[in-house]
Amino acid sequence: MNSIKHTILFIVLFSTVQLSGSDQIPAPVQDHPILLKGGIVHTISGDILSNFDLLLVNGKILKIEKNIVPAPDMEVIRVGGKHIFPGFVAGISTIGLTEVSAVRASVDYAETGSLNPNVRANVAYNPDSELIPVARSNGVLTANVTPQSGLIPGQSSLMMLDGWTWENATINHPTALHINWPSMRIDTGKDAKREDAQIEERQKKLKHLDKLIVDARAYAKIHRNPNKQKSRKHDHDLRFESMIPFVLGEKPVFIRANDIRQIEAAVHWADRMELDAVIVGGKDAWRTVDLLKQKNVSVILESILSLPSRRFEDYDQPFKTPYMLYSAGVDFSIGGGGRYGAAFQRNLPYHAAMAAAFGLPVNEALKSITLTAARILGVGNRLGSIEIGKDATLFIADGDPLDIRTQILQCFIQGKKIDMSDRHKMLYEKYRKKYQQLDILK
């Protein structure tokens, strides 16, 4: 009986925590012009503009000029020589889909079954996550939220990190169909299956993939035929319907592959199936740059702050991989945070910073988490740089945002002035008071 009472108490307490959500209030739609005066504008797509003004109107960047004369209806923010950057774009993330990884009830990036091409990430997105304001406070303003489980986990969605509901937080859906490429290694561990059984299991998965793509393409040929007769209800298949944009090349397919054998097999498979492929993860991408360049395949590097894959590799291999891809002319972006690292999405700029410390030019490091990431996600015309006509999704900082000492002073998402408070700042102030009371801090 006592154990039952304890279980009920735990459920009640946990539910209270889950329902509390974050305290930050989503910003209203921009309803008046905002003028940022006298900033150092890092356009990313071009030059750095010193002492320039930015005019934000209806969520867009309307003007980038010197000495814009304020109108009576404008809100004027004097930047005073501070730096203005486009918002960082997390190319691969589970933010909003998971809160506490050890608590199953707060994890929503996995679906039952192995083949779920119709699963949409955005409908599971939790805009009240406590992790979102923390990531925003480090300049991460948009994230490509991604399902994770199974052979085909589903479709990712690009979300702005501010909004009341998943509907008004969605920027672009779908960004991609995701495939987790089967392991190409043979497990020789004590409890591993026989080698031939492992190979057979892998081949079975690959045949499933082949059949699904072929069937979806045939389905698309029938259902996109303007001369076809009206189909009966049972003629429709939700999985095939969801795959049409991807099998016809209208949207990319993101293939998670880290080992060199996975990457090579995935690239050749996508080429054979005539799919627009992007490699996600890509730890061994440096070992196959010629193939990636030849097939024009982009890479989203998941984590730079990680260990080498093998004992014989250089200790700094993950740090210098971006430079090696850049030198070979391979298109890439940096996702940051790791596969299940929603709590660490705030560290995205430091992944880029480490790449810059190991050879990647600083502007290219910034591009890898802004313009290049936006372009790979299909929104390069809206996000990733400060240009006239693009979304006013940007932030003001007191220094280089790749430097851990820099403070992000104010963020704007589509011209909306964002609440800059978060749980980390609240805890900082709380414990600062503690040590002031103990006369350790002034």
Residue spans per domain, the chain: 18-87+386-442, 122-383
CA atoms in the 13 A half-sphere facing the CB of 78: 1
Calpha distance 265→339 (Å, rounded): 21
- Reported as a single tens digit per residue, the pLDDT across 28-50 is 999 999 999 999 999 999 999 99
Q: Is the dihedral of CA 294, 297, 298, 304 positive or negative?
A: negative
Phi, psi values for residue 314, rounded to 5°: -60, 145
pLDDT band at 391 (very low <50, low <70, confident <90, very high): very high
Fold (topology level) of 122-383: TIM Barrel (3.20.20)
Task: Check residue 16 and give its pLDDT.
Answer: 42
pLDDT at 110 over 50: yes
pLDDT at 1 over 60: no
In terms of DSSP bridges, do strands 154-160 and 277-281 run parallel, antiparallel, or are they unpaired? unpaired
Contacts of 38 (CB under 8 A, 6+ apart): 51, 52, 53, 78, 79, 80, 81
Mean pLDDT throughout 243-269?
96
* pLDDT at 162 exceeding the cut of 90: yes
Per-residue pLDDT, averaged over 199-222, amounts to 92
pLDDT for 9: 41
What are all long-range contacts of 182-186, with beta carbons under 8 Å and residues at least 24 apart? 182/151, 182/206, 182/262, 183/259, 183/262, 184/259, 184/261, 184/262, 184/265, 185/259, 185/261
* Most confident option among 94-103, 112-121, 128-137: 128-137
Helix axes 195-223, 238-247, angle to 10 degrees: 90
Cis peptide leading into residue 174 (ω within 30°): yes
Average pLDDT over residues 284-294: 97
| pLDDT tens readout for residues 308-339 | 999 999 999 999 999 999 999 999 999 987 66
42: number of Cβ within 10 Å:
23
pLDDT higher than threshold 70 for residue 420: yes
Query: What superfamily would CATH give domain 18-87+386-442?
Result: Urease, subunit C, domain 1 (2.30.40.10)
- Res. 428 pLDDT band, cuts 50 70 90: very high
Please give the pLDDT value at position 185. Answer: 85
pLDDT over 90 for what percent of the chain?
77
CA nearest to 89, candidates 159, 163, 147, 140: 140
Measuring CA to CA, how many Å separate 121 from each of 95, 140, 166, 168? Answer: 11, 19, 10, 14
Q: Is the pLDDT score of 15 beyond 70?
A: no
Report the pLDDT value the prediction gives residue 227, as an integer from 0 to 100: 63
Whole-angstrom distance, CA of residue 373 vs CA of residue 146: 15
Residue with tokens 């990647």: 360
Instruction: Give me the pLDDT at residue 17, please.
Output: 41
Nearest in space to 423 (alpha carbons), one of 111, 112, 64, 134? 134
